[in-house]
Structure 1
Amino acid sequence: MTNAENLPPEGALSEPKASKIWTDIDFTADGKQCGYFRLPISPHESAYGWIPIPVAVVRNKSGPRVLLISGNHGDEWEGQIVLMNFLRQVRHSDVRGTIIILPAANAPAVEAGRRVSPLDEGNLNRCFPGKPDGTPTWAIAHFIETSLLPGTDLVCDFHSGGSSLEYLHSTVIVRPHEEHKLEYLLSLAYQLGLPVGFITDAPTTGDQGLSGACERAGGIPYLSTELGGAGTVDLQALRAAEVGLLRLLGHVGALSRDQEFARTQKVRLLSRHPARDYVYSPAAGVFEPHVGLGERVQAGQVAGVIHCTEAPWREPHVVHFQRNGYVLCRRVPARTKIGDCLFNTADELPDSTAEQLLTDTGVLA
C-alpha cells in the first residue's frame, strides 16, 4: 500500500534527478583536457569503484560546441580509431569554440568488443533518454542527454556495421521533423565526403537512439555514419572519415587552421527502406548470399538461400527481396537464425531530385 504522506502534492512535479556520473574536467576552461567521466559502480570486486569513460575536451574561447561520439556500439571500430587519432593530434590552437570527443561512449561494451554492454546487456543506442539511477548503459544515456547535449550545436555519431553487418561507406541523415533542416544536414554530409549519403525517415532506434535525444534537446543537428564493418577495420572508410571530419569541422567553424581537403564531386543520395522491408532470415542454418553490396535488385529476386546443416538433404530455404532498390548493407556471419537481418535496401533518389537538394544546400551552386 502506498503511503500518501510520501507523495508530492497533487499537480506538483518532482525535480528531475541529476546524473550520478561525475568528472574533474572543467568545461568552461580553455585548453585541451583529457580524462574520464566516472560512473560509480559497486560490484563484488570493487565496493566503491567507478567505470572510466574516456573523454577529451578542447576549448578555445567562443565558437560552436561540437560533440563527437564513437563506441556507441562497442564492436564498431572505425569511428573509435578516427576519434582517437583526432584527439591525439588536435591542438588547443586549432580549435574555435569547444569540441568534446567521446571515443568509447559505452565504455564497458568497447572494452568487451561487443555491440552491447557485458554489465547489463544494454544497447546504448536503444536506451535514451536513460535513467540517472538505472543500470550502467541507461545511466550513460541519461548523462549524455542531460549533461552533454544542452548547448551543443552539432552531434556527429560514428557507426559502422560492427560484427554482424557490412555497409556501403555512408553518411546517415535522420530526416528531421522540420523539413528545412534537411538542407543543412545534406550540406554537412557533403562536407564529410563519404561516397553515399542515405536518408532514413524512421531510424531503427526510434526515439530511443541518440538522434531522438538530439531532437528532444531542441533539434540539435545530428549526423551519423556507417563505415564498413564486417567485424574488422575498413581502411578505406577509416581514411575517408578522418579527412572528412577535418573538412566538416572546418566548415562549421570549429577548426581555425587553414587547410584544404579534396572535395567529393558527387554525393550519391539514397533513401533507406523501412525496417519492415529488410530481408530477414526465415530459418536457422548457413546463409549463402546471392548478391553483394551496392547491387541493384528487384522485388521478388532471390537474395540467397539458407542451408539446413542438421538435415543437409533438405532443400534450402530461399529468401527474396521485398522491393526494388540497391543493397545498402548485408549480414556478415554465415551462420544465421530466424529473425536475423540479412540485407537492407534503399532507393536511389532520382538525379533531378538529388541535384535539386544539393543545389538548395549550396553544394552545387
Structure 2
Amino acid sequence: MPAGETHMWTTLDLERDGKQHGFVRLPFSSDLSAYGTIPIPIACIRNGDGPTALLVAGSHGDEYEGQIALGKLARRIEPGEVRGRIVVLPALNYPAVAAGRRLSPLDEGNLNRLFPGKANGTPTQMIAHYVVSVLLPLSDLVIDLHSGGRSLAYYPCCLIRDGGIATETARLVELMQIFGAPVGSISDGAGGGASTTLSAAAQACGVPALTAELGGGGSFSPKGEAIATQGLCRVLRHVGILPNAQTEPPPPVRLMRVEGRDAFVYAPCRGIFEPCVEIGDSVHPGQCAGAIHPIDGPHRPPQAINFTRPGLVACRRFPALTNPGDCLFKLLSDVERT
C-alpha cells in the first residue's frame, strides 16, 4: 500500500444512488481479535448529480444531541428528496461513543485534536486521516455537531473559523445564519483546537465547515437536538441538497467572536467550583464569576474568580470538582457591524 494511503475502508458504494447503511472499517488488532476491525456506522443517501454534504457527530463520545439528530435524519430522509449526496457519520469516533467518553479508550485520542491524522497512526489518528483523505475530497459542505460533553455546559452556538479571505468568511457567516442557532461564533481556534480540528482540516481542503455546540454536561438537550435538526434541514435546503425540505425560517442569530485566549477563564487552584453566573449571561470586567472552595479544611477561605473582560458566557464548567488549569468559562464578544 502506498505511503499515506488509508488502511480504512467502507462497506458502502458512495457513488451508488439510493440509501445505504453500513460501516467504515477501522483495522484494530487485539489479544482476542488478531484481524479485527472497529465498525464505524455510516449512511449514504444519494440521488444523481449535485453537491455532497458530510454530516458528522460523535467526534467526542459523550456529546449526544448531534448523534441523535443525525440518526433521525439518516432514517427519515429518502433518496427521492435528495439532489446530490448526504454522507452521515453519527458516531465518528465509535470507540469513544461506545464508552461514553470524550477520548477513545483504544488510545486516549481526542479526535477533534488530531486532524489531519496519520494513515499509519493510532486508531484515532487513522479515523482523522480517513476523513481528510477520503471523505473531504468528496464534500462540498461539512457540518460537525458537538456539545460540551461531561466537562462543559454550552449555550447553543454555531461556530466557524475565519475564512482567510473576506469572501470565504462571508459565505460561512451566511451559512451560520441559515443554520439558526441563537449565537453565531467566529473563532481563529486560538483557545484550543487551532489547526487540529475537523473544521480546520476542512478549511485547508477548501470545504466550508460549520460546527455546532448544542448542550453539555454529558446529558441530552431536546432543545439542542431541535436546533440541530432544523439547522441541518435549512442548510441542506439552501445548498440545494434538500430542495423541498419543510423548514421554519431561521431565527435571528447574534453574531459574536472569540477574542483570543483571554476569552477563557481557567481555574487557579484545586477545589469545589461554585459558579455565580449561568450560560447565556452577559458579564462585565470585575464581576464575580464564582469561587473555588478548598477541600483540605474549612479554615481556608474560598478563592474568588472575577471576569477581566466583558462578554456573553458561552460555556461553563459542569463538574464541581476542579483542578488548576480547568476551563471554567468561555466568553464571546459581539461583532461590530460595518
Residue 225 of structure 1 aligns to a residue in which SS?
A: strand
Q: Which residue of 2 aligns with 1:338?
A: 324
Query: Contact 2:189 / 2:195 at 8 angstroms: preserved in 1?
Result: no
Q: Which residue of 1 aligns with 2:124?
A: 137
Query: Contact 1:278 / 1:322 at 8 angstroms: preserved in 2?
Result: no
Q: Which residue of 1 aligns with 2:76?
A: 89
Distance 2:116 2:230 in 1: 32
Distance 1:244 1:149 in 2: 21
Superimposed CA distance per residue, residues 85-122 of structure 1 (whole angstroms, 9 cap, x where no aligned partner): 00011101111111100111101000000001001000
Q: Which residue of 2 aligns with 1:184?
A: 171
Match of 2:282 among 289, 292, 296: 296
Cα distance, 1:247 vs. partner?
A: 1.4
- The answer to whether the aligner puts 1:116 opposite 2:116 as a matched pair is no
Aligned ranges for residues 181-260 of structure 1 at < 5 Å?
Answer: 181-203=168-190, 204-217=192-205, 219-256=206-243, 258-260=244-246
Query: Contact 1:273 / 1:344 at 8 angstroms: preserved in 2?
Result: no
Cα distance, 1:189 vs. partner?
A: 1.3
Superimposed CA distance per residue, residues 15-67 of structure 1 (whole angstroms, 9 cap, x where no aligned partner): 64211111221111111111000011110011111000000011111000110
Residue 345 of structure 1 aligns to a residue in which SS?
A: strand
Distance 1:15 1:74 in 2: 32
Mean alpha-carbon deviation: is it higher for 172-181 or for 153-162? 172-181
Aligned ranges for residues 1-365 of structure 1 at < 5 Å?
Answer: 16-203=3-190, 204-217=192-205, 219-256=206-243, 258-350=244-336, 353=337
Distance 1:179 1:202 in 2: 18
Superimposed CA distance per residue, residues 288-321 of structure 1 (whole angstroms, 9 cap, x where no aligned partner): 1111112221223221110011122201111121
Tell me the amino acid that sits aligned with residue 296 of structure 1: S
Distance 2:74 2:246 in 1: 20
Relative to structure 1, the CA distance from residue 340 to residue 88 in structure 2 (aligned partners, 3 Å threshold; closer, same or farther) is same
Residue 184 of structure 2 aligns to a residue in which SS?
A: strand
Distance 1:16 1:188 in 2: 36
Query: Contact 1:163 / 1:332 at 8 angstroms: preserved in 2?
Result: yes
Residue 143 of structure 1 aligns to a residue in which SS?
A: helix
Mean alpha-carbon deviation: is it higher for 201-210 or for 221-230? 201-210
Query: Contact 2:267 / 2:326 at 8 angstroms: preserved in 1?
Result: yes
Superimposed CA distance per residue, residues 129-152 of structure 1 (whole angstroms, 9 cap, x where no aligned partner): 111111100010111100110131
Distance 1:185 1:15 in 2: 35
Query: Contact 1:168 / 1:227 at 8 angstroms: preserved in 2?
Result: yes
Residue 150 of structure 1 aligns to a residue in which SS?
A: helix
Distance 1:276 1:44 in 2: 46
Query: Contact 2:61 / 2:103 at 8 angstroms: preserved in 1?
Result: yes
Cα distance, 1:81 vs. partner?
A: 0.5
Distance 2:333 2:29 in 1: 49
Q: Extract structure 1 runs of 4+ deviating beyond 4 A.
A: none
Distance 2:76 2:162 in 1: 33
TM-score (normalised: structure 2): 0.96
Q: Which consecutive residues of structure 1, in runs of 5 or more, have no partner in the other structure?
A: 1-13, 357-365
Residue 283 of structure 1 aligns to a residue in which SS?
A: coil
Distance 1:124 1:235 in 2: 25
Distance 2:152 2:45 in 1: 33
Residue 84 of structure 1 aligns to a residue in which SS?
A: helix
Distance 1:283 1:320 in 2: 14
Tell me the amino acid that sits aligned with residue 332 of structure 1: F
Query: Contact 1:195 / 1:264 at 8 angstroms: preserved in 2?
Result: no
Tell me the amino acid that sits aligned with residue 52 of structure 1: P
Cα distance, 1:166 vs. partner?
A: 1.0
Superimposed CA distance per residue, residues 235-270 of structure 1 (whole angstroms, 9 cap, x where no aligned partner): 1111121122111111111114x2432213421111
**Larger of the two Rg values belongs to structure:** 1
Tell me the amino acid that sits aligned with residue 120 of structure 2: D
Q: What is the RMSD of the two structures over their aligned residues, measured on CA atoms?
A: 1.4
Tell me the amino acid that sits aligned with residue 97 of structure 1: G
Mean alpha-carbon deviation: is it higher for 115-124 or for 276-285? 276-285
